[in-house]
Structure 1
Amino acid sequence: MCTPCCISQLACCCGSAACSLCCGCCPKIKQSTGTRFMYALYFLLVTSICVIMMLFPTVENEIRDHIPFYAEMCQNLNTGNCKALVGYSAVYKVCFGMACFFFVFSVFTFRVRTSTGWRAAIHNGFWFLKFLALLGCCAGGFFLPNQDTFLEVWRYVGATGGFIFLLIQLMLLVEFAHRWNKNWTSGIKYNKLWYAALALVTLMLFTVAVGALVFMSVYYTHHEACTLNKIFLGLNATLCLFVSLLAISPFIQKLQPTSGLLQSGVITVYVMYLTFSALSSKPIETVEKDGANVTVCKFPFNYGSEGDKKIVTGVGTVILFGCVLYSCLTSTTRRSSDALRVCRTTMPENERARCCFCCGDDGDDYEDEERKGGGQNVMYDEREGTVYSYSYFHFVFFLGSLYVMMTVTNWFHYEDAKLEKFLDDSWSVFWIKMASCWVCLLLYMWTLVAPMICPKRFEA
């Protein structure tokens, strides 16, 4: 019984067969979902390696103590220095390899319309061979010539791609908030406990947002300095309050009955995080006290070890993981695409409220299933055509690779850079992150007022 299952898994790794688990108790999985999950797994694996390179300064010592022939391997590097395996420059090189991997696949799968072609077969299978290709791309970054020039040029490419991905991330966040509210609202007419769950989660979100605002008001403002901090804290808090009231206003409720405080709560929490991230990236300010300059508006805990930047990097990485998993596990059918384009998406009649609504389908039923060796059911949902754009999918991961590089390295900052002192705690990083707050609020506000401005586009 195990032999057919093992053969099918071997075909999944080295051939074009669909990937499934050898477990009959596992739920059904669509071929498209399984493929996206595998690419997301590759992405998260490389991202985790980058985080380890940055968060643990002793990683070089651990590698030296546990990996044989470590010294010989270091001698073969262009730098001749084992420090090239960790730190900022290593993250840039690893992310360069991952970005190249996804960019090549984006070009390779351009205009693929059906899953029956050979390009689609490569996209949906050959996982072990693609894993080796990804490792080769990431390792190749350490052997590039003129690495100083490469790092200087690549950081600008990363900044551009990272900012574009940030916009996509904000769109996904807004779409996630609307879908969450719609799904749980659909269960209210069957069970009133869903209404209690909505109220509880909304209350928790706004409690976290208010707590973050109070924290920043106490520790990131000063009566003699930090004027910009006061202005932007007040401005962002006012804008969050405005969009919250707008979401429950009568004229918005008339056009979008499912609009509520849950969406605005999600957006408000994210804006507070972006505000904290911006304030922690701002150049330090000092005031004269008792004849000495005293640093003000700083993180109150472990400031000498840059505790605020570690929190920003950690939370940013978690948010990135969540966005990647959501974009891969959620459906990419017409209903989801319309949501991203801010079109009206009527709630389907068979919409069923569930806690893990991200993994649900869009009501599409597929009769073509295959059980291999008593294993997991695989639904081949792309026999009549692809349900998502392969090229766009890989391009988003290409941009995500650049965003990982910039987020983990705190945007522009890496070892031995000529502009390190200028870009560390810089105004450029501050304005990028502060502008992200306003873009997020504008995107959410547009999803609320768009039906009034463009009514024909939102006709059922």
Structure 2
Amino acid sequence: MVGVKAPPRIPNSSLEPAQQWSSINSTLGRTILYQATCCCGPAPRTSCCYSGLPPVKESTSSRLLYTLLHVGASATCCLLLSRTVLDTLWGKDNCPIPTGSGAVYRVCAGTATFYLLQAVILINVNSSTSPRARLHNGFWLLKLLVLLGLCTAAFYIPDEHIFPAWHYVGICGGFAFILLQLVLITAFAHTWNKNWLTGAAQDWRWVGAVLLATLVFYSIAGTGAFLLFHHYTHPAGCLLNKALLILNLCFCGILSLLSITPCIRLKQPCSGPLQASIISCYIMYLTFSALSSRPPDRVLLRGQNRTICRPSMSKVGAQTLDTSLTILSAGIMYACVLFACNEASYLAEVFGPLWMVKVYSYEFQKPSICFCCPDNLSPDGGSSGEEAGSGAPQTPHRLSYSYSAFHFVFFLASLYVMVTLTNWFSYEGAELETTFTRGSWATFWVKIASCWTCVLLYLGLLLIPVCWPATGPSQPPRVIRRRCRRIHVSS
């Protein structure tokens, strides 16, 4: 997609700091001015009347604004779910609007409907000059009013009508989004590994980059495992935490060994420890997220009931509640949500509807530091080049990402945020303070299940090519070997 750009500018490193800050502030102001022109109408087609616009793509600014809308909706859900915030605003009086899980369900119902409607409207949009594409990139004031109207209308739905049906819709959407995240992280690791190994076959410096990145990720995973053992276990109990940590560490070791096994590397020459190190790091994150979401244990310690299995610097006394790690977990979780929303739409436009399969078979012609989404990425040998996006670099008005897929993933993300904030299956009485400090068993087991699903997904990625029966191109070599044997016997 061609965005609205200014003529390229050569940066001048000799500028004074005051001049640099002035340039940055001017660029930011012009960006806001450009988006302000799109509030009540479509985005401008050209930059003839906006020669001072910054070199920012229309697609990038649109994604940024949609992301800010989602962040604002999620922050509103957190505020309506927090008992501390509501008591500060309304005191002991009755709040005039529904709060708790009911408010979260209603706000997420409005945002999910908003994104789903746009996903349906923007199906099969292939050009940035299409009238429907201009609906995606403009009319921001109108879309904001529609979003607020949908959220407000949801507050008029009685509890007995919104909870039963919408709860199951949220559960299904949340699980679908988890699976999408797992596919994206394995594709991310696979693409990064194949990209840099392509460079390693051409230049020894890429070999050093691969080894350094592998060492960094394994160091992060090992440090994370040590910290989890230190903070989330206790000599007096926490047997479940210890068993899960040992089991997931064994999974990381098995996946790492399989990735360098000769029989697997024969079928997948690009398989290596780099992608295994990335997956191991993600497994440790999922383990941390699960352990920080479970309820603590209560044991009799030195004649007193103590709470354990919670972060503490002391291993002898009682473990005190520390919310910093759980807040960190929530922040990383939402960063993964935003990554999934943008990355899935990009891959859907480049590789077409079957991007989940095609992204693993893509072969890099040359390495790139931008290991995740190089600008010249296009699938080779696809039968439907226009649909798969092979013409993206050549077509002037080709979309840089799929608008429909972008909004559909945000629809799933809204449902995922909804069920995560309301403790998945046990949404009754959910509060923000208990969600991120005390946790629930439902959230704990959902995250453990997602961790093991990630292990199975990557294990299948390694083993399926090995177990797949040989067909097609593998038959001619067998015929040639038979002929060679016959010549040897006759001689």
TM-score with structure 1 length normalisation? 0.76
Does residue 360 of structure 1 match 2:387? no
User: What's the CA shift for 1:405?
Assistant: 2.0
- Residue 67 of structure 1 corresponds to which residue in structure 2? none
Q: What is the Cα deviation at residue 212 of structure 1? A: 1.7
Partners of 1:308 and 1:263 in 2: CA distance: 26
Shift in Å at residue 167 of structure 1? 0.6
Q: What is the number of equivalent residue pairs in this alignment? A: 425
State which of 300, 304, 311 in structure 1 corresponds to 2:328: 311
* Structure 1: 5+ residue stretches without partners: 65-70, 369-378
Using the alignment, how far apart are the partners of 1:186 and 1:435 within structure 2? 34
Match of 1:452 in 2: 466
Structure 2: which amino acid aligns with 1:43? H
Note if contact 1:343-1:458 (Cα within 8 Å) is conserved in structure 2. Answer: no
Amino acid aligned to 2:448? M
Aligned partners of 2:45 and 2:103: how far apart in 1?
A: 32
1:47 is the counterpart of 2:44: no
| Pair 1:260 & 2:272 matched | yes
* Mapped partners of 1:415, 1:306: distance in 2: 22
The structure with the larger Rg is: 2
Distance, in Å, in 1 between the alignment partners of 2:472 and 2:37 is 46
**Is the contact between residue 451 and residue 457 of structure 1 (CA under 8 Å) also seen in structure 2?**
no
- After TM superposition, the structure 1 = structure 2 runs for residues 368-383 of structure 1, keeping only pairs within 5 Å, are 379-381=396-398
Cα distance in structure 2, aligned partners of 1:260 and 1:185: 9
Query: Could you say if the C-alpha distance between residues 288 and 116 of structure 1 is closer, same or farther in structure 2, counting changes exceeding 3 Å?
Result: same
**Structure 1 pair 19–210 and aligned structure 2 pair: CA distance change class (3 A):** farther
| Paired position in structure 2 for 1:216 | 228
Any idea what SS the aligned residue of 2:311 has?
Answer: coil
Deviation at 1:15, TM superposition (A): 3.8
Q: Which amino acid aligns with 1:198?
A: V
Partner Cα distance (1:57, 1:101) in 2: 29
What's the CA shift string for 1:200-248, capped at 9, x where partnerless? Answer: 2221211121122122223333445333222222111111111111112
CA offsets, 1:278-327, max 9 Å, x none? Answer: 22333322222333222222221684354443232222122222322333
Counterparts in 2 of 1:237 and 1:410: CA distance versus 1, 3 Å: same
CA contact (8 A) 2:310 2:322 kept: no
8 A Cα contact 2:198 2:364, kept in partner: no
Rounded Cα–Cα distance in structure 2 between residues aligned with 1:457 and 1:51: 54
**What do the CA deviations read for 1:157-190 (whole angstroms, capped 9, x no partner)?**
3222111101101111111111122223333355
Contact kept, 8 Å, 1:102 with 1:394, in 2: the verdict is yes
Give the conservation status (yes or no) of the 8 Å contact 1:105–1:391: yes
Cα distance change, pair 188–7 in 1 and its aligned pair in 2 (3 A): same
Distance 2:417 2:171 in 1: 10
Aligned equivalent of 1:340: 356
Q: How does 1:84-233 map to 2 (within 5 A)?
A: 84=98, 89-110=102-123, 118-141=131-154, 143-147=155-159, 150-151=162-163, 154-189=166-201, 191-233=203-245
Query: Which of 296, 299, 309 pairs up with 1:284?
Result: 296
Name which of 429, 443, 452 aligns with 2:443: 429
The one-character-per-residue Cα deviations of 1:83-127 (angstroms, maximum 9, x if unpaired) are 757x65443332221101012223334566777765455345434
Change beyond 3 A, Cα 1:343–1:184 = closer
Give the corresponding residue for 1:371.
none
Which runs of structure 2 are paired with 1:265-276 in the superposition (5 Å)?
265-276=277-288
Q: Distance in 2 between matches of 1:459 and 1:7?
A: 58
Deviation at 1:435?
A: 0.7
Give secondary structure in 1 for the equivalent of 2:300.
strand
Query: Per-residue deviation at 1:404?
Result: 1.7
Q: Relative to structure 2, which stretch is displaced further, 166-175 or 286-295?
A: 286-295
Give the AA of the match of 1:243: L
TM-score (norm. length: structure 2): 0.71
Residue ranges of structure 2 left out of the alignment (5+ in a row): 1-5, 7-30, 314-318, 379-390, 475-491
Deviations 1:370-417 (Å, cap 9, x if unpaired)? xxxxxxxxx4115xxxx8665444322211111122334454566845
* Distance verdict in 2 for CA 1:108–1:213, change over 3 Å: same
SS at match of 1:304: coil
> Is the contact made by 1:286 and 1:296 (CA closer than 8 Å) also made in structure 2?
yes
Counterpart Cα distance in 2 of 1:157 and 1:338 = 24
- The answer to whether the Cα contact below 8 Å between 2:217 and 2:277 also exists between their aligned partners in 1 is yes
Classify the secondary structure of the residue corresponding to 2:348.
Answer: coil
Please give the alpha-carbon distance, in whole angstroms, between the structure 2 residues aligned to 1:13 and 1:422: 37
Of residues 102-111 and 173-182 in structure 1, the stretch that sits farther from structure 2 once superposed is 102-111
Report SS of the residue matched to 1:101.
helix
Q: Which has the higher contact order (CA 8 A, sep 6+)?
A: 1
Letter of the aligned partner of 1:248 in structure 2?
Answer: I
Aligned mates of 1:459, 1:161 — CA distance in 2? 41
1:30-80 residue CA offsets vs partner (Å, 9 max, x unmatched) = x7666555544433443354456668945885xx6xxxxxx9xx9xxxx96
Q: Tell me the distance in 2 between the aligned counterparts of 1:228 and 1:457.
A: 46
RMSD, aligned α-carbons: 4.3
What CA distance in whole angstroms lies between the structure 1 residues aligned with 2:45 and 2:325?
A: 41
* Residue identity opposite 1:274 in structure 2: L
Alignment partners' CA distance in 1, 2:34 and 2:440: 53
Code of the aligned partner of 2:272: G
Check the 8 A contact 1:248/1:259 in 2, yes or no. yes
Paired-residue identity, %: 36
Shift of the 405–457 alpha-carbon distance from structure 1 to 2, 3 Å rule, reads farther
User: Alpha carbons of 1:449 and 1:6: their partners in 2 closer, same or farther (altered >3 Å)?
Assistant: closer
Aligned partner of residue 310 in structure 2, secondary structure: coil
1:138-168 Cα distance to aligned partner (Å, 9 max, x none): 3433x32324763565444322211110110
